[in-house]
Chains A and B, each alone.
Chain A
Amino acid sequence: MSMDRRQFLKIAGISSILGFGASVASATHTIWEPGLKPPQVEPNPDGLIAKRWAMVVDMSKFKTDEDIKKVTTACHQTHNVPDFRNPDGTVDKKFEIKWIWEEPYERTFPGSENKFMSEHIKDMPFIVLCNHCDNPPCVRVCPTQATFKLPNGITMQDMHRCIGCRFCMAACPYGSRSFNWTDPRKAINPATENKAYPTRTKGVVEKCTFCTERLQVGKLPACVEAAPKGAMFFGDIEDPNSEVRKIVTSQLTIRRKPELGTGPAVYYVIGGSDHA
């Protein structure tokens, strides 16, 4: 069938009015079919598997600022996260990229503070990261399925598909996503660069991936490995025998902004007793 440009535009215009065109761009159906299927591809046999990955953070086990710094540095070096600095050495907020970072109590759990609570907790810094929500708003708004849920609960970010529209950043209530306003390689120290992991490039959004690349080869997340003993736990919360499940079942834990219904998978122990 031959059609000139004018005819094509007429038909395209009419069909989009009728709503036919809309289904093509709809993010609710899968626009991706695997090009390689098992048995031609397979998981790494050393990989860790879970029904639902989750994390427990106990801030009382972080004794010094150094302890926190160790954790954030481990993550950021493992993933080649750039460190933009002002000439005076402070963090350059304009270009800052964060996968895991510190927030004060009232920004971690806003609305739950009261004027009588202990100064100790009010002043305590909290380690925050992507919550890998059950119901992630970022995934719902992503027009290219660059961010999507893996079956193990991880909210994954496919850098190859990200077009940098930043809808996900507007949607995320935790500020867990950062946009690369400039080439990140400018602010990565070549001496500590992880040669086994890619950098990102200008114009994409990035965030914590629960170290999916490490889990898949049998390693725990870099932050958990670098944390003081008993400060961070990682495991399958659907498994009744896992450490994370035991802690969450036996102690009072809180999650960030639960009222939003996003279903975070990062739990915070507030009490500070010993566990698991």
Chain B
Amino acid sequence: MKLYDGGKILIGLMVFVGIATFPFYYNIGKVNAKPELKTDTPAIQAWEKQYGKKECVESKEYMRSEHMQLLNNWRDSVVRDMNRQYVSMTSGRKFNMSLQNGCLECHSNKKQFCDQCHNYMAVKPYCFDCHIQPMEKEENKS
């Protein structure tokens, strides 16, 4: 069997495959890279000094999967039920149920922490249209 213009077709095919798969290698090492989440803010370091370990409101695993629901519940508890303190199921410690004065006091590196993971997961919480974010230096921008 003879392939007419075989050379041109092969080149064409190679170009096509190259273009079609371009997004995959273009993104290698970029979006695919799991964000590294830093929990070494001054507030967390102070906490570690006082209690001997790093702790969130609940376990890291729980927070990772449930923080959205937890925040919704905090919001309703505070605004509708007048409860302002949360008792941790993990440590029994009490936390101020506040987004900007609670979560973000420890996670004051919001851009590198919350935002980085949200960007990776392509979620965009609208909470910060109202809730004021910590001031961060421009170079921290993700």
**Which chain A residues have a beta carbon within 8 Å of chain B's beta carbons?**
32, 34-36, 38-44, 47, 80, 148, 150, 152, 156, 158-160, 193, 195-201, 212, 216-217
By the criterion CB–CB under 8 Å, are B129 and A201 in contact?
yes
Q: Chain B contacts of A200 at CB under 8 A? A: 130
A-B contact pairs, 5 of them (CB 8 A): A32-B80, A40-B86, A40-B89, A41-B81, A150-B82
Interface residue from A32, A43, A197 paired with B82 (Cβ < 8 Å): A43
By the criterion CB–CB under 8 Å, are B72 and A35 in contact?
yes
Lowest 3 CB-CB distances: which A-B pairs, in order? A35-B73, A41-B83, A198-B130
By the criterion CB–CB under 8 Å, are B132 and A198 in contact?
yes
By the criterion CB–CB under 8 Å, are A36 and B73 in contact?
yes
Chain A nearest Cβ from B65, distance in angstroms: 16
Q: Chain B contacts of A39 at CB under 8 A? A: 87
Count of CB-CB pairs between chains A and B under 8 Å? 74
Chain A nearest Cβ from B125, distance in angstroms: 12
Q: Chain B contacts of A156 at CB under 8 A? A: 79-80
Q: Chain A contacts of B73 at CB under 8 A? A: 34-36
Decide if B69 is an interface residue (CB 8 Å cutoff): yes
A197 to B73, CA, bound (A): 18
A197 to B100, CA, bound (A): 8
By the criterion CB–CB under 8 Å, are A41 and B77 in contact?
yes
Chain A nearest Cβ from B100, distance in angstroms: 7
By the criterion CB–CB under 8 Å, are A41 and B85 in contact?
yes
Q: Mark B81-103, 1 if CB is under 8 A from A, else 0.
A: 11111110100001001001100
Interface residue from B72, B74, B84 paired with A44 (Cβ < 8 Å): B84
A65 to B130, CA, bound (A): 32
By the criterion CB–CB under 8 Å, are A160 and B75 in contact?
yes
Given contacts A193-B132, A201-B130, A42 and B83 within 8 Å (CB-CB): yes
Interface residue from B69, B81, B132 paired with A34 (Cβ < 8 Å): B81
Decide if B48 is an interface residue (CB 8 Å cutoff): no
By the criterion CB–CB under 8 Å, are B84 and A217 in contact?
yes
Given contacts A195-B132, A196-B101, A199-B130, A32 and B84 within 8 Å (CB-CB): no
Given contacts A40-B86, A40-B87, A43-B85, A148 and B80 within 8 Å (CB-CB): yes
